[in-house]
């Protein structure tokens, strides 16, 4: 009985594998496949943009059968992602752990000595660049960037900007705004972008620089208002919201959404995941999502991605230095 059973399930497996191949699913160069569920470490807390996106990736992978094993998202957002970075470092050579990154991938190790060197990690794929928008509560009188600057100035340093942690993307962007307009803003850290968005709508903070995906629900319900977009062109989803550049202030800032593996991840595993994400980037779901949520899909892998990481790290080091000079 047992014999028949295993033979049957083996056949079923072979059959499903064949279907997968003909359906155009990724075929890695080598025959390597994950042997157990793959842990997808997320460098941020639950409910924020990074978290939602990572969970979307997971769902598409499962739905389209892009991985032979389930993908399990794990949030390790503590200390601006230091928890996740450290976790990946402690799992050197592990072929079953991948990490969804944000820009804190560069900034956290630059700001705090947590014994992590990001050049050691294995770059897998960059899926997209996310955009930033300045938001206020829909009940506020602020309509334009100039209104906002005037309101912040009038508050005498008590203007509350919500964000996801000192050194995170939104705090850098806040620092850039402070620098550009010579303002003094109180930055209040929360556990994730979702929490930030909710606190803006609840009136506990005065403005945010959320990603569009984090505010979209409240925006559609008429509870929050976009003021300016920090992009070179207007965002398709908010045709009436000008860019900062149009208002005469050239502030552009992106958030990268990439995946990396731990140091010394086996090459076959890297090939497998790269192919998996490439197939993912071509699915209908992903294409629709990027359009709806105002994301720039920009696929990049391997050495080119590593070069991009290094370039961005240098840029962020400069911004951080300006921040430090500003505060001291």
Partner 1 sequence: MDVLALLADGFATSLSPVNLMIVIIGVTAGLFIGAMPGLGSVNGVAIVLPLTFIVPPSSAIILLAAIYYGAMYGGAVSSVLLGIPGASTAVATTFDGRPMAQQGKAGLALIAAAVASFVGGTISVVLFTLFAAPLADLALAFGPAEEFALVLLAFTTFVGLGGDDILKTIVMICLGLVLSTVGLDLISGQPRLIFGDMPGFYSGISFLVLAIGVYGVGEVLHTIETSKSAPAVTPARLTFRELADGLRRMNRLWKTMSIGSFLGFFVGMLPAAGATPASLMAYGIAKTTSREPESFGKGNIEGVAAPETANNAASTGSLLPMLTLGIPGSPTTALLLGGMVMWGLVPGPMLFIEQPDFVWGLISSLYTANFAAVAINLALIPLFVWALRMPFTVLCAMVLVLCIVGGFAPSQKMHDVWLIAGFGIAGYLLRKADYPLAPLVLALVLGPLMEKSFRQTLIAEQGDMMAFVERPLSATFIAIAVLFFLLPLIKVWRARSGKAAISPAE
Residues found near partner 1 in the complex (CB under 8 A): 46-47, 51-52, 55-56, 58-60, 62-63, 70, 72-73, 75-76, 78-80, 82-83, 86-87, 89-90, 108, 111-112, 114-115, 157-158, 160, 165-167, 186-191, 194-195, 198-199, 201-205, 216-218, 220-221, 223, 285
Q: Please report how close the Cβ of residue 248 comes to partner 1 at its closest, in angstroms.
A: 30
State the DSSP string of 273-311: HHHHHHHHHTSHHHHHHHHHTT-EEEEEEHHHHHHHHHH
312, 256 in Cβ contact below 8 A?
yes
Q: Please report how close the Cβ of residue 47 comes to partner 1 at its closest, in angstroms.
A: 5
Q: Please report how close the Cβ of residue 185 comes to partner 1 at its closest, in angstroms.
A: 11
| Cβ neighbours of residue 325 closer than 8 Å, sequence gap 6 or more | none
Comparison of 132 and 218: residue with beta carbon closer to partner 1: 218
Comparison of 114 and 252: residue with beta carbon closer to partner 1: 114
How far are the Cα atoms of 42, 98, 99, 268 from residue 93, in angstroms, in the given order?
18, 11, 13, 12
The Cα 57–Cα 100 span in angstroms is: 10
Q: Please report how close the Cβ of residue 204 comes to partner 1 at its closest, in angstroms.
A: 3
How far are the Cα atoms of 170, 206, 219, 296 from residue 238, in angstroms, in the given order?
20, 21, 10, 14
Comparison of 159 and 272: residue with beta carbon closer to partner 1: 159
Comparison of 8 and 36: residue with beta carbon closer to partner 1: 36
Comparison of 251 and 277: residue with beta carbon closer to partner 1: 277
Backbone angles phi, psi at 165, to 5 degrees: 140, 140
Comparison of 56 and 129: residue with beta carbon closer to partner 1: 56
Q: Please report how close the Cβ of residue 89 comes to partner 1 at its closest, in angstroms.
A: 8
Q: Please report how close the Cβ of residue 202 comes to partner 1 at its closest, in angstroms.
A: 4
284, 60 in Cβ contact below 8 A?
no
Q: Please report how close the Cβ of residue 79 comes to partner 1 at its closest, in angstroms.
A: 3
Number of helices (H) and strands (E) in the chain: give both, helices first: 11, 11
Comparison of 149 and 161: residue with beta carbon closer to partner 1: 161
234, 243 in Cβ contact below 8 A?
yes
The Cα 298–Cα 296 span in angstroms is: 6
Nearest Cα neighbor of 227 from 147, 130, 145 is 145
The Cα 321–Cα 323 span in angstroms is: 5
Query: Please, what's the b/e burial string for 294-323 (b: 16 or more CB within 10 A of its CB; e: otherwise)?
Result: bbebeebbeeebbebbeebbeebeebbeeb
Comparison of 199 and 306: residue with beta carbon closer to partner 1: 199
Q: Please report how close the Cβ of residue 151 comes to partner 1 at its closest, in angstroms.
A: 16
Q: Please report how close the Cβ of residue 56 comes to partner 1 at its closest, in angstroms.
A: 5
Q: Are strands 185-189 and 159-163 parallel, antiparallel or unpaired?
A: parallel
Comparison of 164 and 243: residue with beta carbon closer to partner 1: 164
């Amino acid at each position: 009985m047992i014999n028949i059973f295993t033979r049957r399930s083996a056949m079923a497996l072979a059959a499903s594998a064949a279907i997968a191949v003909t359906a155009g699913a990724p075929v890695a160069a080598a025959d390597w496949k994950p042997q157990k569920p793959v842990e997808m470490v997320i460098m941020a807390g639950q409910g924020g943009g990074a978290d939602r996106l990572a969970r979307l990736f997971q769902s598409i992978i499962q739905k389209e059968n892009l991985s032979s094993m389930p993908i399990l998202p794990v949030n390790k957002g503590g200390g601006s992602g230091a928890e996740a970075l450290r976790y990946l470092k402690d799992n050197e050579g592990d072929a079953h752990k991948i990490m969804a990154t944000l820009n804190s991938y560069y900034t956290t190790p630059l700001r705090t000595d947590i014994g992590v060197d990001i050049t050691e990690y294995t770059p897998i794929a960059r899926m997209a660049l996310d955009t930033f928008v300045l938001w206020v509560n829909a009940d506020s009188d602020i309509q334009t960037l100039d209104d906002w600057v005037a309101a912040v100035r009038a508050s005498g340093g008590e203007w509350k900007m919500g964000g996801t942690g000192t050194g995170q993307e939104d705090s850098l962007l806040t620092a850039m705004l402070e620098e550009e307009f010579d303002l003094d803003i109180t930055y209040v850290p929360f556990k994730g972008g979702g929490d930030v968005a909710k606190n803006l709508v609840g009136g506990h903070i005065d403005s945010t620089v959320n990603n569009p995906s984090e505010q979209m629900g409240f925006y559609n319900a008429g509870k929050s208002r976009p003021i300016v977009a920090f992009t070179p062109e207007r965002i398709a989803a908010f045709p009436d919201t000008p860019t900062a550049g149009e208002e005469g202030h050239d502030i552009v800032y992106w958030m990268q959404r990439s995946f990396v593996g731990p140091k010394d991840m086996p090459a076959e595993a890297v090939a497998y995941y790269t192919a998996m994400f490439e197939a993912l980037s071509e699915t209908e779901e992903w294409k629709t999502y990027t359009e709806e949520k105002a994301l720039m899909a920009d696929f990049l892998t391997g050495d080119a991605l590593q070069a991009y990481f290094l370039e961005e790290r240098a840029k962020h080091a400069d911004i951080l230095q300006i921040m430090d000079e500003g505060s001291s």
